[in-house]
Amino acid sequence: MQDIIKKIENRERVTKEEALRLYNLELIELGELASTIREEKFGKKSYFNINRHINPTNICKDTCKFCAYSATRKNPNPYTMSVEEIVAIAKGAWEKGAKEVHIVSAHNPEVGLDWYLQSFSEVKKALPEIHVKALTAAEIHFLATEYNKSYEEIIELMIAHGVDSMPGGGAEIFAEDVRDKICKGKVSSKQWLEIHKIWHSRGRKSNATMLFGHIESREDRIDHMARLRELQDETDGFNTFIPLVYQRENNYLKVENFLTAKEILKTYAIARIFLDNIPHIKAYWATSTINLALLAQEFGCDDLDGTIQKESIQSAAGAASANGMALDEFVGLIQDSGFIPVERDSLYNELKVY
């Protein structure tokens, strides 16, 4: 193990096999290695943005076993917002200080492609300065398949209708045998990576996620990160990596042994060490809890996402994010944890240091 530690201290790239072995390190020692890298990059800054999640529909063509959001027997309350409703929510968020709207939802075959595109263009027309982050690679794959278009055509339409950046959702875990069990029929790992590569080729940025803590193995997690690192070497298009902690309520994926905080923190730390070419590691408080996300700032993470205001997807599965968090509370929690709150925009330009 000392040979791997030496490589990390010398800032040499670790291999997949070495990254996997890092799980055997004591938590505090692993955390110190990740924290040193984090502090070299960002000091004691912890980033967040003032944002609003908008989830316009829960009617979905796909059936993912881990999902508690889409309208199914577990959630028999289907809904679809009108474009006017979406714009009104965005306006309300802007008035409360939001700089970004994060628009993702289900794969609804009933509303038509124009509904998706008009949502973005009307928000942008009403609020020219707001950053529109919208459509996961899974949604892009759905739209391309449903409306007989190429990924390139959908991406060009997104850009033409005001989408500024892509979120990282839909990646789940790249191991195809696991995907077959948890989200069969959804975008494949190869397609997810292809879509982000096309997006990056247009000079645009995106995020990358990994859903962990369900039926995947540690090897699957490292493989997932390795594929992201390989694409990042090629495109340099990812802003941040977001390990999403699996939420276990109201879904059909029966996971008996839930992740420990120790395992979550080790995964964050290994991500910071292994993903040497992705600038930011986000502890998304909506899935990890705010307390663990704050602790994760000591284990290599430098971002917490944002105030959110309202969120429907993770909270449907048990996350405590339904109504977001007040700005002053958010800032206070970061300061009380010994870090410097830094409000950022969607592309990590610093807007305000508290």
Helix H, strand E, coil C: the string for 15-37 is: CHHHHHHHHHCCHHHHHHHHHHH
Q: At what angle do helices 2-9 and 27-42 cross, to 10 degrees?
A: 10
Tens-of-pLDDT digits for all 354 residues of the chain? 999 999 999 999 999 999 999 999 999 999 999 999 999 999 999 999 998 989 998 877 666 555 555 556 555 678 899 999 999 999 999 999 999 999 998 778 888 899 999 999 999 999 999 999 999 999 999 999 999 999 999 999 999 999 999 999 999 999 999 998 888 788 999 999 999 999 999 999 999 999 999 889 999 999 999 999 999 999 999 999 999 998 765 556 676 778 899 999 999 999 999 999 999 999 998 888 889 999 999 999 999 988 866 544 444 444 444 456 888 888 999 999 999 999 999 999 999 999
Which structure tokens are listed for 26?
Answer: 């004591």
The answer to whether the beta carbons of residues 287 and 247 sit under 8 Å apart is: yes
Determine the residue type at 242: I
As given in the structure block, the two tokens for residue 223 are 């493989």
How many helices and strands in the chain, by DSSP H and E? 14, 10
CA–CA separation, 84 vs 89, rounded Å?
A: 9
Tell me how far CA of residue 192 lies from CA of 125, 180, 189, 287, in angstroms. 29, 15, 5, 22
Kindly list the structural domains of the chain, giving each domain's residue range(s) and its CATH number in brackets, ordered by start.
2-353 (3.20.20.70)
Nearest to 13 by CA among 2, 4, 23, 24: 4
Instruction: Report the sign of the C-alpha dihedral through residues 286, 274, 169, 260, in that order.
Output: negative
Q: Say how far apart CA 58 and CA 55 lie, in whole Å.
A: 8
The pLDDT value recorded for residue 315 is: 41
Q: Distances in Å between the alpha carbon of 203 and those of 113, 189, 206, 236?
A: 24, 22, 10, 10
The predicted-structure confidence for 274-323, as pLDDT tens digits, reads as follows 999 999 999 998 888 889 999 999 999 999 988 866 544 444 444 444 45
Residue ranges of alpha helices (H) inside 102-217 are 113-126, 137-146, 151-160, 176-182, 189-201
Query: DSSP assignment, residue 166?
Result: B
Specify the 3-state DSSP secondary structure of 95: helix
